[in-house]
């Protein structure tokens, strides 16, 4: 890679992935949001209409169709063959005026889904990336069962690690101390993600979705510059989180070398990379987004966040801070790291 690559279209519709383990409360949240005025002009993609209980909200009957309009102004559609096809179909139908306009999309995943492949699709399919912009991953965390699930289910830890925002559900059904305990674990597992708490889906969709700002995820760094070990009881599958400040301006070949080094040395063990880097010649810092081996083209920050610091947050397995710092330093400085580095 040399020179500045083009980034995604600023006109692209923001898209949110709503994930969370089986029974964690995704549908309960969506069912409430679909009735909320603030959620009008949203297109929601679910696996089955039946799950969200829409019957009395329908404006159009969805007999043959997989897209229905609700009286709240939302569109609801079921996932047909693949997410890419469903999103492309929605885009064309909106352009032809066959369905009302929508200004954001929410995709609900199934409970055991790993959100990473969806994120990969949105980051790598150029046509899709020009039409839809991955604006955030929201993970529901089961207030009743999370403390038991986190040790036994890698999916749960992965969903938490990949999220930009975490929603602890079922606060009405558990003591406040348990919610506080869960919040403590979440802060350790993914310190950059904002945590909200909900009872029976009573969460304003605007607070939950639109307030996500990638760069604000870096505000925690001032107090969390060390390495965080998340003890799950399964030592070999623990995730660590670390932050490496990068103050100097970066050039594109150096950044490409770093991405290559991450991909070849860590692969799927590097679950998430988020950050802000200042590129030489660019007025605004650029947001860095990586999910396992897939890295999106860096994009200029849309909001200037006062708390944000330049650097990279890494979440993964087997990350050694000193080694990573050295790798980043070498690649961004124009050097070629040795195989052992
Ligand atoms: N008390 C209480 N129950 C809740 C809350 N949220 C969800 N539930 C209940 O938990 C169960 C699962 O909720 P769903 O919203 O269907 O969860 P889901 O994540 O969509 O589940 P899957 O489709 O299996 O992945 C249902 O019985 C809900 O009524 C909550 O905030 N409080």
183-200 average pLDDT score: 90
Under the banding of pLDDT at 50, 70 and 90, the label for residue 176 is: very high
Residue 229 has pLDDT above 70, yes or no: no
33-52 average pLDDT score: 82
Evaluate: CB of 23 within 6 angstroms of ligand 1. yes
Residue 28 has pLDDT above 80, yes or no: yes
Residue 227 has pLDDT above 50, yes or no: no
Residue 3 has pLDDT above 50, yes or no: no
Residue 217 has pLDDT above 70, yes or no: no
At 65 the pLDDT is 67
The mean predicted confidence, pLDDT, of the chain is 81
Under the banding of pLDDT at 50, 70 and 90, the label for residue 57 is: low
Residue 147 has pLDDT above 80, yes or no: yes
At 234 the pLDDT is 41
At 74 the pLDDT is 83
Q: Whose CA is nearest to atom 2 of ligand 1?
A: 170
At 51 the pLDDT is 63
Check if the beta carbon of residue 195 is closer than 8 Å to that of residue 186: yes
Query: Which atom of ligand 1 lies closest to the CA of 108?
Result: 20
Residue with the bigger pLDDT between 219 and 106: it is 106
CA distance 114 to 310: 29
Evaluate: CB of 1 within 6 angstroms of ligand 1. no
Residue 304 has pLDDT above 90, yes or no: no
Query: Which atom of ligand 1 lies closest to the CA of 24?
Result: 19
Residue with the bigger pLDDT between 58 and 208: it is 208
Evaluate: CB of 24 within 6 angstroms of ligand 1. yes
3-state SS track over the chain: CCCCCCCCCCCCEEEEEEEECCCCCHHHHHHHHCCCHHHCCEEEEECCHHHHCCHHHECCCCCCCCEEEECCCCEEEECCCCHHHHHHHHHHHHHCCCCCCCCEEEEECCCCCCHHHHHHHHHHCHHHHHHEEEEEEEEEEECCCHHHHHHHCHHHHHHHHHCCEEEEECHHHCCHHHHHHHHHHHHHHCCCCEEEECCCCCCCHHHHHHCCCHHHHHHHHHHCCCCEECCCCCHHHCCEEEEEECCCCECHHHHHHHHHHHHHHHHHHEEEEEEEECECCCCCCEEEEEECCEECCCEECCCCCCCCCCEEEEEECCCCHHHHHHHHHHHHCCCCCCCCC
Ligand 1 geometric centre to CA of 41 (Å): 25
Q: Which of 108, 109, 115, 84 lies closest to 34 in space, CA to CA?
A: 108
Residue with the bigger pLDDT between 171 and 213: it is 171
What domains, with CATH codes, occur in the chain? Answer: 13-212 (3.40.50.300), 222-332 (3.30.1220.10)
At 152 the pLDDT is 82
pLDDT tens-place string over residues 62-114: 555 678 888 777 888 887 678 888 999 999 999 999 888 999 999 998 777 78
Residue 206 has pLDDT above 50, yes or no: yes
Under the banding of pLDDT at 50, 70 and 90, the label for residue 305 is: low
pLDDT tens-place string over residues 289-298: 888 788 888 8
Query: Which atom of ligand 1 lies closest to the CA of 171?
Result: 31
Residue 163 has pLDDT above 70, yes or no: yes
Least confident residue range of 20-29, 85-94, 251-260, 309-318:
309-318
Residue 120 has pLDDT above 80, yes or no: yes
Ligand 1 geometric centre to CA of 40 (Å): 23
Q: Whose CA is nearest to atom 13 of ligand 1?
A: 25
At 191 the pLDDT is 80
At 296 the pLDDT is 82
Least confident residue range of 47-51, 98-102, 122-126, 315-319:
47-51
Least confident residue range of 158-162, 226-230, 293-297:
226-230
Under the banding of pLDDT at 50, 70 and 90, the label for residue 237 is: very low
């Amino acid at each position: 890679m040399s020179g500045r690559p083009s980034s995604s279209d600023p006109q692209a519709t923001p898209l949110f992935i709503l994930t969370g383990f089986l029974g964690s409360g995704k549908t309960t949240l969506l069912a409430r949001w679909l009735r909320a005025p603030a959620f009008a002009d949203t297109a929601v993609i679910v696996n089955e209409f039946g799950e969200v209980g829409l019957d009395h909200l329908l404006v159009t009957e969805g007999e043959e169709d997989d897209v229905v309009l609700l009286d709240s102004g939302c569109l609801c559609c079921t996932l047909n063959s693949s997410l890419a096809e469903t999103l492309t179909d929605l885009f064309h139908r909106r352009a032809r005026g066959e369905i009302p306009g929508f200004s954001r999309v929410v995709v609900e995943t199934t409970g055991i889904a790993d959100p990473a492949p969806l994120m990969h699709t949105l980051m790598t399919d150029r046509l899709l990336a020009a039409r839809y912009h991955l604006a955030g991953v929201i993970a529901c965390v089961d207030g009743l069962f999370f403390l038991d699930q986190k040790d036994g289910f890698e999916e749960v830890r992965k969903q938490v690690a990949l999220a930009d925002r975490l929603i602890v559900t079922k606060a009405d059904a558990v003591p406040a101390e348990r919610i506080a305990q869960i919040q403590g674990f979440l802060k350790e597992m993914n310190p950059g993600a904002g945590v909200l708490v909900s009872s029976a889906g009573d969460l304003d969709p605007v607070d939950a979705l639109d307030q996500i700002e990638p760069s604000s995820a870096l505000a925690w760094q001032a107090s969390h510059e060390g390495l965080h070990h998340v003890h799950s009881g399964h030592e070999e599958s623990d995730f660590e989180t670390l932050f490496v400040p990068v103050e100097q301006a970066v050039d594109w070949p150096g950044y490409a070398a770093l991405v290559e080094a991450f991909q070849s040395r860590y692969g799927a063990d590097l679950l998430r990379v988020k950050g802000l880097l200042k590129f030489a010649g660019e007025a605004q810092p650029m947001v860095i987004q990586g999910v396992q081996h897939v890295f999106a083209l860096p994009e200029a920050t849309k909001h200037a966040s006062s708390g944000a610091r330049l650097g990279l947050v890494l979440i993964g397995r087997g990350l050694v801070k000193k080694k990573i710092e050295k790798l980043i330093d070498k690649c961004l400085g124009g050097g070629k790291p040795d195989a052992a580095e």
